[in-house]
A = this chain, B = another copy of it.
Amino acid sequence: MPVNYTPLPGASANLVTGVRLAAVQAHVRKPNRYDMLVVELAEGSHVGGIFTQSRFAAAPVQVCRSHLKTSTAIRALVINTGIANAATGELGLANANATCDRVAKALAIKSSQVLPFSTGVILEHLPMDRIAFGVDAASDALKKNELADWQRAAQTIMTTDTVYKLSSAQVSLGGKTANITGIAKGAGMIQPNMATMLGFVFTDAAISPELLAPLSIALGNRSFNRITVDGDTSTNDSFIVVSTGRCGNEPIKSLDSADGKALHAALERVSVQLAQAIVRDGEGATKFMTIDVKGGRDFAECDKIARAVAHSPLVKTAFFASDPNLGRILAAVGYGAPADLDPAKVSVHLNGVLVAEKGGRAASYIEAQGAAVMKESEITVTIDLGRGSANQTIYTCDFSYDYVKINADYRS
């Protein structure tokens, strides 16, 4: 069961003008499940994206980067589950390109206007006969107007997710209502076998093409780049922002304009909800944790410390056990910290309760307060480094299961 997350019913998701969805059963790896989504984007659409930092980026990621390098005028996305087409060498690249060719032919667009995404097992090759079958079935559905709704789309890209991830918003831009809807899939904690996080946010707001790349970076840095599950970075991670420009607003030329800010904020809300949903659906997760580091000299040191705490199995198991084991948090801060950090200036709060300061337990702290906080399902750990004004926030979840038993028993 996800932690405090109930997916939006499909009927409540806003339609995004210019986005048409086809979901099919391509039998990529297993029968009787929707495993391919083709998204057709209206002419005039523009796309930005960010991708995994892995040096073994999967073939579809390489193709996405290549297609986005020459133009943002993308007209279709094709997403399959089952096989990730990662670490598949030259043949993998050829298969990803062939998938785009097939979509392009079916939709009468250029292959370079298609972005491919795959998620599933690594090191295996796509079954190209089934991929072709799926693409053709999807394009038939689009032609016959047998469209999938957002819920079906979100379900189609699921792998080990226990719930689909769907978020939606509207924003008024110069009197026009712009729709925003996003879907995501993700490997929660302890179920990272897919090793892939995919996020897609669509809006019918018009945005100048050159803004799509910086917008996707800015949104990603506040959402999908702020979550961590097990510290593993996948070969296929992708986050895509699509603007169809069909809602009728005056195209946004700057993200600093009033409309730019309003749209940016709404897109960020949707992106953050989707990213957090991935953490909330971590297999076995019982708590949603926000690691908030502030008072740092620069972003990098805040980010490093926040991730050290978020990745620490010791911290995660203590949270599962509802054990206010502050020492584990301080230990993780200690090894994530720069060499010149003064431990005496660091303070730690748990949901607003001051628990540690001056290198040890806070004088005012009573363990019963910490125990009460630890029973909650949403816990914010605030770490003030006391040496500057930089900050970073990371979202993560606890570690549960027998893995935890030994750790959980220790304090009793």
Contact = CB atoms under 8 A, between A and B. Distances in A.
A88 B195 CA distance: 39
A297 to B, nearest CB: 14
A192 interface: yes
B56 A359 contact: yes
Interface stretch (A103-111, A132-140, A146-154, A229-237): A229-237
A232 B335 contact: yes
Interface stretch (A73-81, A164-172, A252-260, A307-315): A307-315
Contacts of A234: 331
Nearest to A327: B122
A57 interface: yes
Interface in A35-79: 52-57
A108 to B, nearest CB: 33
Interface residues of A, number: 64
Given A55-B333, A121-B327, A331-B86, A92 B360 contact: yes
A326 B121 CA distance: 10
A339 interface: yes
Contacts of A57: 334
Contacts of A330: 56, 86-87, 122-123, 235
Nearest to A86: B327
A332 interface: yes
Interface stretch (A215-223, A262-270, A401-409): A401-409
Interface in A196-237: 230-235
Given A121-B410, A123-B326, A123-B330, 17 more contacts: A54-B331, A56-B334, A87-B326, A87-B343, A88-B360, A90-B358, A92-B360, A122-B325, A122-B326, A123-B325, A123-B327, A160-B406, A160-B410, A192-B313, A233-B331, A233-B335, A283-B406
25 contacts: A54-B335, A56-B334, A56-B337, A56-B359, A57-B334, A86-B331, A87-B327, A87-B360, A88-B361, A89-B344, A89-B358, A89-B361, A160-B406, A190-B407, A191-B406, A192-B407, A193-B314, A193-B407, A230-B313, A231-B312, A231-B313, A235-B331, A283-B406, A401-B401, A403-B403
Interface of A: 52-57, 84, 86-92, 121-123, 160, 190-193, 195, 230-235, 283, 311-314, 317, 325-328, 330-335, 337-339, 341, 343-344, 356, 358-361, 399, 401-403, 406-407, 410-411
